[in-house]
Structures are given as structure tokens and as C-alpha cells.
Amino acid sequence: MSALTTIGLPVALGIIMFGLGLSLTPADFARVGKHPKAVIVALACQLILLPAICFGLVVLFQLPPVLAVGMILLAAAPGGTTANLYSHLFRGDVALNVTLTAINSIVALFTLPLLTNFAISVFLPDSEGLGIQFTKAVEVFLIVLGPVVLGMLVRRLWPRFADRMDKPVRIASMLILAIVIVGALISNRELFFNNLGSLAGITILFCALSLTVGFFVPRLFRVEPRQAVASSFEIGIHNATLAIVIAQSVLGNEEMSLPAAVYGVLMFFVALAFGFLVRRAVPAGSAAKEPAATA
């Protein structure tokens, strides 16, 4: 495993999560009380429906066991910060996105190890020592929550500095992530291209289904359109970086990270197409002005 993967990926994730922390305040968690139905429905979709859908797709596509676990790991990952941008572009409730991302990032600390270990027990029952044990769960906890808490602390102590750093940190995180992913793909190009054909279909379908579930299930429960748009992107755009880091750095399996790597590229195009389809559901003048930190 190259130094670019072992060092670069955790650093990229750390910067991304630190940037998320810079945009969060305690009010983002307290906001749950204002929109409990939207939050509860979105979390139910994220934690129950999506893993079930992903499990069905894995069986339908008959993926090799390691790639099957990688898909479940991806499904268990919380929403990515890119969801905020898409929600902003397509008239979603960005404040709800920030709230869902914050809550999901904490809930996933417990649900992600459980779902990953379940997938390993189903698809790789004979693999010794592969799984997220307590010490590895603590590692995931520190990788995810540590930078977020640090970012929130910086915002609390130096709010103006946090506002100034928000955009540079986002740009830096995306550049570092792009470099790391390209480097990882080059070093594992044979493995990547050998599996691209089998992974493109399932990752595109999973992303499309995630976005669809994230929009229409809340609408069935009469969640208002802007919140449904926010929910669709939060549920449909997973934190592929986190899934890659856990697969490669925590579980030490590069092949397991391939579904997230393929998904991480294709999801941008699927989400963009979906955004143009659902934006008609939100009247042009209905998007309220969002705080600068969440845009």
C-alpha cells in the first residue's frame, strides 16, 4: 500500500471533516426540534432502507464477496458535504442538510461498524481478523469526529477566522482528495479497470435509487418540497472518501474500496441529472436565504 494511500487519504478526510466542523454550530444540532419529521424520515431512509436496497443490489448483481462488502460499507457511510452544494443549487433546505450531515456523522460512528461487520459475516465468513473490532471502531471515531470537533471549536473561538477559512479549506480538501484518488487509481489501475465494468452499473443504480428514496419517501410523509430536496441529496450523496479510508486504512483492503472509488466519480453526474429533474418541485421564489457558512 503506497504512502499516498496510507497517509494522503486520512489527511484528505481529516481536512474535509475539519471543514465540515468549521461550518457547524450547536444550533445545527438543536434545529432537529424545529423539523423533527424531516430529520426522522431522512435518518430512517439512511439507516434502514438504503442498506436493505444495497444488499438486494449486491445479490442481484452477484458481486464478488470483497466488492459486496465494499458496497455495504459505502451504503453505511453518512452523507457527504457535497450534498450541501447540490442542495443549494437545486433549491433545497441547506440548513437541513447541515443538520442531517452533523447527526449522520455521529450516528454512523456506531452504525457503520455494525453494518460492515454484518456484511463481512455474510459475504466473507471465513476471513480471519477482517472486521471492525473495538480498537478499529475507536480509530474510525477519531478519524471522523476528531476533526469535526476541532473545526467546531475553532468556529466557536474564532468565528471570523472560521468564515474566512471555510472556502480555502473546502478547495484544499477537494484538491488533496483528487490527487490522492488519481494516485490510488494509477497505482491500482489494473485492479480498477478490471472491476469498472461490474461496478459502474450497480453504483449508478444505487446512487439513483438513493436519491429517489431520499426525495419521494419524505414527500409521502408530507415533508415540504425544499426539505425533500435536501433529504434526497443528503441520502443520495454518500461520503465515499470515508468509505475508501476505512476500507484501505482501517481494514487494509484496497479492493474493498473500489465500489466507493467508482461511486465517488459517477455520483456527481447522477446527482446533477437528478437535481434538474426535481428542481421543478420547488418554486423558484421559495428558497429562503441560507447562512453563509452552510452555502
The residue to which cell 434526497 is assigned: 232
Q: What is the mean pLDDT of the chain?
A: 80
Residue 293 placed within a domain: no
Tally the C-alpha atoms within 13 A of residue 110's C-alpha that lie toward its C-beta. 5
Range of the domain at 38: 3-281
Instruction: Please report, for the domain that includes residue 204, its CATH number.
Output: 1.20.1530.20
Residue 246 placed within a domain: yes
C-alpha dist (Å) from residue 31 to 27, 28, 57: 6, 5, 34
Residue 292 placed within a domain: no
Q: Coil, helix or strand for 171? A: helix
Residue 294 placed within a domain: no
Q: Which residues of 187-211 are buried (b: 16+ CB within 10 A; e: fewer)?
A: ebeeebeebeebbeebbbebbbbbb
H or E element in which residue 174 lies: helix 159-187
In the numeric block, which cell numbers belong to residue 239? Answer: 461520503
The 10s digit of each residue's pLDDT in 33-65 is 777 888 899 999 998 999 999 999 999 999 999
The 10s digit of each residue's pLDDT in 213-228 is 999 999 999 898 889 9
The 10s digit of each residue's pLDDT in 164-221 is 887 787 677 667 666 666 666 666 667 667 777 789 999 999 999 999 999 999 999 9
Residue 151 placed within a domain: yes
Distance of alpha carbon 139 from its chain centroid, rounded? 18
The residue to which cell 479549506 is assigned: 169
Residue 49 placed within a domain: yes
* Total domains present in the chain: 1
Residue 180 placed within a domain: yes
Contact at 8 Å (CB) between 151 and 163? no
Residue 286 placed within a domain: no
In the numeric block, which cell numbers belong to residue 62? Answer: 452477484
> How far is it, in rounded angstroms, from Cα 39 to Cα 17?
21
Mean pLDDT, rounded, for 18-46: 79
In the numeric block, which cell numbers belong to residue 272? Answer: 446533477
